[in-house]
Amino acid sequence: MLLRCSPLTFRLFAALIALLCSTVSANSGYGILGVTKMNSDHAECASACRTLVKNSQLTCSATLPGDTSSAQLNRRQSPTITPVECYLKDAAYLRTLALCIVDYCPSDLRLPEREKWWEKGVATASFEPWDPSLTPSMTYDAALQHALEDMAKVGEADIPIHQPGAPLNKTSRIPQSNYTPVYNSAIFFSDVAIAISTICIPLLFSLVRILPGRPLWYSRLEIALQKPVIGRRHRTPMVGNVGLMPTRGQSLYIGYIIISQLFLSIFPILTIYPNASWPSGQLLSLIGDRTGDLAMANFLAVFLFSSRNNILLWMTNWSHSTFLLLHRWISYCLIIEASLHSFLLLIMYWSTRDIRQHDLGWIWGIVGTMALVLLWPASILSVRQRAYEFFLAFHQVFSAVALVGTFFHIYKYYKYYYGFEIWVYIGGAVWFLDRLIRLLRLLSNGICTATITSLDPDGEYIQIDIDGITSHGHVYLSFPTLSWRFWENHPYSVLSTYTGRPEQPDHMKPEPDSDSAEKKEEESASSTTSSASTHTPIQSRTTALLRAMDGLTKTLTTRLLAAPEGADGSKCIILPVLVESSYHSNPATHDLAHCSTLLCIAGGVGITAVLPIMRSFEGVRTRLAWGMRNEYLLHAVDPQLKELKHDPSVQIETRVGERLPLFDLLKEEMENEGEGALGIVVCGPTGMADELASKAKKGTFSW
């Protein structure tokens, strides 16, 4: 099935990274600030020279008509329009630039490096995207030789001194008093670091799982890190429904994010005087600019961690719920940093606020910041629980507005020169790639038909059967004819992926007891029925069980209960369905491979996630404890349970209408664990999972 496994996803992700890297490294004028642009461009001296002459009126320049006050708002804009071709061929500009470079660049910046910067750096003075056709009419060495000849003709003492912004129509020199402040301003930016390690940490920590052997200390450490930081509840909301308490392991990661980004926002503290860009208030501007840089650098982790097709789900053993929690915390950092960026620079430019309110770059910055700020209250846990569809739609729209606002804010001030916009491209590309893979998953299954059956008279439990589809883990189902919100889809665990029963292998058949005549009679009496069921043809069918809640499931239940009863008294409807499959339910289940014993605990419809895991560990001693509110679920799952009971290594116990003795179950299995490792699988109400996790002291867990 298309996109069933990770290689295609990995190739698409690798292609995206390759495309971004090729874009970023295209030239010295474009890239990600602090990674590919400023830190790799060690010719800050040449960039400072270009800054001093690029705003000068050349012989081929044109002057903007009308009022130029708005153009002068930005220190990097000029009321003079100079086409890119003008920079490439103007003799005075090229010779003056070459003379400045030879005067102020250190000797270790050798001629090949100067020529490399010259080829791409001259054209980028116009803020236009660079391509190979934008090559200066003369090389750096040729321009320098012409400049030295011009200086020899008039004498070194009589060569004109160029002042920034003045017309440039002959070879001139840049005085030290003008060069130093601009150079200090250039290196001021080169120390801004971008926090990209948020992506690498999950990979590094996941490498531990491939170490040979599983010592006892590792299992105990793993369980200790899975416990909540405070209290005993991690999956159950905290008091006041303010959110979920992170685990100790998640808190270490969150702490790193907060501390590292706080540190990078402030340090190193650079106050360099004289400074052309910031004659005063450097610290305020420094923190304001850095918080803006870090906010954009967080786009990658924010969009990647929230995506269903997150490549890290295949490369690590972290669950999707963990990445969603980290997505929220990184988003908090992004929103705070964007707000600080706007607030601090508002203070910085308070004196010009009346003029700036008409500046499009300023306006788009406000739009982007406000979109991010509004996302926070609309995404709190209580909103997600009570109006999930509203949260989802609001989240998508305002995230897009934030990206668009950020891009135009950057473009209006810097065009494509400093590479800030690359972070917007990355965030948008990750979002687009995730949606593209979702669409391909849908198209691979086509339009299917779902048979929806009520398992009880009240429609509390529903069974969904989709013929012709083979799935595993969990799937996202969309019922386009159920309501006007045809785009809505929700995840459901797959109980089984086929209908019918194959012939039982010999090792799965129970050994007959020669001393029990009664057992022989029972086997003989049921031989006809068993033989018929054994040879039932196998057909693809994805089956899911769900409990009706709010939103889509409530609408589905209402439609189902309105249907007429069938001959057997049950209610059933048939609807077209779009199936987005398959997704791994929890990558941590791969860690169970080394376990010799499995303890599976399920509550209610949580059995749908547990049974496929039990089937995948055939031959491993497995104990299933399943508690449910009524017997309707038991009747629905009975065929799968009977199939498992043929395996002598499987022990199944069910409880109807009463709580499972979690502590006793855990204690018994830990005492009987023997030499092998114990794996514990839990799926059910969040309170049950939290209670079990608080009692466990060793083992390998999958929640």
Out of 58-67, 397-406, 464-473, least confident range = 58-67
Residue 11 and residue 624: Cα distance in Å, rounded? 39
Peptide bond into 582 cis (omega under 30): yes
Instruction: Give percent above pLDDT 70 in the chain.
Output: 76
pLDDT at 588: 65
pLDDT tens digits, one per residue of 301-349: 999 999 999 998 888 878 888 899 999 999 999 999 999 999 999 998 8
pLDDT at 161: 93
Is it the case that residue 537 has pLDDT exceeding 80?
no
Number of neighbouring beta carbons within 10 Å of residue 204: 10
Is it the case that residue 525 has pLDDT exceeding 50?
no
- The answer for 137, left when phi > 0, alpha when psi is -120 to 50, beta otherwise, is alpha
pLDDT at 403: 96
Residue 378 and residue 390: Cα distance in Å, rounded? 9
pLDDT at 295: 92
- Work out whether the CA dihedral 312, 317, 319, 323 comes out positive or negative: negative
Out of 172-181, 264-273, 323-332, least confident range = 264-273
User: Of 625, 434, 639, 616, nearest to 545 (Cα)?
Assistant: 639
pLDDT at 318: 85
pLDDT at 520: 42
Residue 194 and residue 58: Cα distance in Å, rounded? 37
Given a contact cutoff of 8 angstroms between Cβ atoms, the answer to whether 16 and 433 are in contact is: yes
**How much is the average pLDDT of 658-669?**
87
Is it the case that residue 362 has pLDDT exceeding 90?
yes
* Mean pLDDT, the chain, whole residue set: 79
pLDDT at 343: 95
Out of 166-170, 186-190, 226-230, least confident range = 186-190
Q: Band of the pLDDT at 449, cuts 50, 70, 90?
A: very high
Given a contact cutoff of 8 angstroms between Cβ atoms, the answer to whether 625 and 692 are in contact is: no
Q: Band of the pLDDT at 357, cuts 50, 70, 90?
A: confident
Is it the case that residue 160 has pLDDT exceeding 60?
yes
Residue 527 and residue 453: Cα distance in Å, rounded? 31
Write out the E strands in 604-660. 621-628, 650-656
Q: Band of the pLDDT at 80, cuts 50, 70, 90?
A: low
Is it the case that residue 456 has pLDDT exceeding 80?
yes
Beta pairing class for 700-702 and 650-656 = unpaired
pLDDT at 283: 79
Is it the case that residue 33 has pLDDT exceeding 80?
no
Is it the case that residue 386 has pLDDT exceeding 60?
yes
